[in-house]
Structure 1
Amino acid sequence: MKKIYILFLVMATTIFGLSSCNNEWEDEQYEQLVSFKAPPNTEGVSWTYIRYKPDGKVTFNLPVVVSGSTPNTENRTVRVGLDLDTLAILNREQFGERQELYYGVLESKYYNMPETVTIPAGESQAVIPIEFSLADIDESDKWVLPLQILDDPAGNYHVNPHKHYKRAMLRIAPFNDYSGEYSSTQFKIYLEGNRDRELTMNTQRAYVVDEETVFFYAGTRDADYLDRKSYKVFVRFTDEQIDIQKKKLEIWSDNAENNKFEVDDEQAYYTVDESWDQVKPYEKRIYINLSFGYRFEDYTSAPGLRLRYQTVGTMAMERKLNTLIPDEDQQIEW
């Protein structure tokens, strides 16, 4: 009898439990919040690569998403604006009082964007079309477009409170076929006449000037030097053939009168090779190799003292392209 009672009690509990269950997975498990999709790097900015076009505008689509476990059921018109305060805080945190190193706010003449974007009902994502025109931009200034999602007084949406989701610090970086990070361990830098004490840098970044031209910073300088604008080395990629593989490079400085810039090798050249990855047949690889040398004087590091440097060697860059992605700025593995 006792066993029958226990069995009856178990069955009753099971039936009661089943009757009280509902499909809780059909309910929203999280709060639906609006966010940018622009994750920052360790410096707090999101590198945004824009194809350089001399006579045309380029549209970059910045994603805006609605989080949650259930579909978005409303048309949500999201307001977007500049976030100058956060950029000011970011600059102070990264660079202290060294204002020459601060990220600059991208001037309005370089871009155009709508003030709102609508995420339709049934969709969890929309994009803000930002139209850039970067023909005459100077990359020695570090441009950032600081954006934030603004609150909606009507309560049509709620902004994600986390700072890396409600804000997008877009570090604008134009690119052409030759810009990017070059391996420079084989590019030697030394005081003229003293090759026993060579200097090298692991990488050097090439910045866009126009479709065929980039610039590096001379010697060991990089974007964190206060005097970087005085030491630009311009490199133009020409179509002039030197031999079956090599094409001529043109090298110059826009400050040669002060830094006494001289090209050391009139036969400066570059090569471009392409191949397809054997494991990923959709991945195209482009190899760019530069060979050149120059001399310059460092006249700003120590007042009253001019140090003459000589450089010579090669730089190399590998660019990987995922050809399954139609958008060029997205298919390059930066």
Structure 2
Amino acid sequence: MKKIYILFLAITTSILLLSSCNNEWEDEQYEQLVSFKAPPNTEGVNWTYVRYKADGKVTFNLPLIVSGSTPNTQDRTVRIGLDLDTLAIMNREQFGHRQELFYQLLEQNHYSMPESITIPAGQSQVNIPIEFSLADIDEVEKWVLPLQILDNPGGNYQINPHKHYKRAMLRIMPFNAYSGTYNAAQFRIILEGNASTPLTAAQQRAYVVDDETIFFYAGTRDVDYLDRKYYKVFLRFTDEQIDIQKKKLEIWSDNAANNKFEVGSEQAYYILDEDMDPTRPFLKRKYITLSLSYKFEDYTSVPGLRLQYETTGTMAMQRNLNTLIPDEDQQIQW
């Protein structure tokens, strides 16, 4: 009798356990929250590369997602707006009172975007089309488009409370075939009277002027110098052949009357080359090598004193392109 009772109890327990089980993985495991997909870097911004076009607008698609372990259950019309408060706070935290270094709000004539966008039921991501027009933008300033997801009075979506998900601080970076970060370890910067101990800058960032022109800052200057706008060095890439590999570079400054800019005696040139990665056959590698020399005077660092510099050497950049991606603008692996 005791054995029969134990068997009955075991069967009853099994039935109860089976009846209490369900396919829990089919249920939503998390909250369905709306977020941007624009992770910030250590400075709090997301570098957003936009192809430069002199004669038209360029559309950048910013992903907007609904989180969760199951598909989105309803149509959600999400409102989007500027986030000027976060931009102001970020500037104060990063740069204090040095306003020349502040990130600047992208002027309204350089972009357009919808005020809201609908994520249809059954979809967990849509792209917000932002049209940029950057033909005449001055890259001396650090332009940012600060966006946020706005509250919905109707209540058909919830905003992700994480600050890096409900905001997108887009650092707008136009690019052309020659812009980007160059290795400048082989480029010497010589202060007058100190030829034996030349200076070097590990990198030089080149900014877009137009399709065939870039600029960078003279000497060791970069975007964090307050006086950077007085020391722009422009390079135009021409089709004029010097030899089978080299093509002519044109160099000038827009402030030569003050910084006494002079082009060096040797002809400046550039070399373009490319190959395919041996271990990743889908990856194309493009190489740009610049050879140039110039002189300039630093007239702003020390009041009443002009420091003369002479520069010479080479700079090089490698750009990797994923050829599996059909859109050339998206191929570049920044």
Q: Is the 8 A contact 1:298 1:306 kept in 2?
A: yes
Amino acid corresponding to residue 258 of structure 1 in structure 2: N
- 1:246 matched residue in structure 2: 246
Corresponding residue SS for 2:15: helix
Does the C-alpha gap of structure 1 residues 239 and 7 become closer, same or farther in structure 2, counting only changes over 3 Å?
Answer: same
- 1:177 matched residue in structure 2: 177
Higher mean C-alpha displacement, 309-318 vs 194-203:
194-203
- 1:62 matched residue in structure 2: 62
CA distance in 2, matches of 1:120, 1:305: 64
- 2:261 matched residue in structure 1: 261
What's the TM-score, normalizing by structure 1? 0.98
Q: Segments of 4+ in structure 1 off by > 4 A? A: 1-4
- 2:148 matched residue in structure 1: 148
Amino acid corresponding to residue 225 of structure 1 in structure 2: Y
- 1:197 matched residue in structure 2: 197
5+ long unaligned stretches in structure 2: none
Deviation (angstroms), 1:46: 0.2
Deviation (angstroms), 1:192: 2.6
- 2:227 matched residue in structure 1: 227
User: CA deviation digits over 1:134-169, x for unaligned, max 9?
Assistant: 000000100000000001000011110111000000
- The aligned length equals 334
User: CA deviation digits over 1:247-301, x for unaligned, max 9?
Assistant: 0000100000000000013410000001011111111100000000100000000
Q: Is the 8 A contact 1:178 1:214 kept in 2?
A: yes
1:71 and 2:71 equivalent? Answer: yes
Q: What RMSD over aligned residues (CA atoms) do the two structures have, in Å?
A: 1.0
Corresponding residue SS for 2:71: coil
Q: What is the percentage of aligned positions where both structures have the same residue?
A: 77
1:44 and 2:19 equivalent? Answer: no
CA distance in 2, matches of 1:266, 1:104: 39
- 1:96 matched residue in structure 2: 96
Corresponding residue SS for 2:293: strand
Corresponding residue SS for 1:54: coil
Q: Is the 8 A contact 1:265 1:292 kept in 2?
A: no
- 2:329 matched residue in structure 1: 329
Higher mean C-alpha displacement, 70-79 vs 302-311:
70-79
CA distance in 1, matches of 2:185, 2:10: 75
Deviation (angstroms), 1:3: 4.7
1:313 and 2:313 equivalent? Answer: yes
Corresponding residue SS for 1:197: coil
What's the TM-score, normalizing by structure 2? 0.98
- 1:109 matched residue in structure 2: 109
Deviation (angstroms), 1:37: 0.4
5+ long unaligned stretches in structure 1: none
- 1:211 matched residue in structure 2: 211
Deviation (angstroms), 1:2: 4.4
- 1:87 matched residue in structure 2: 87
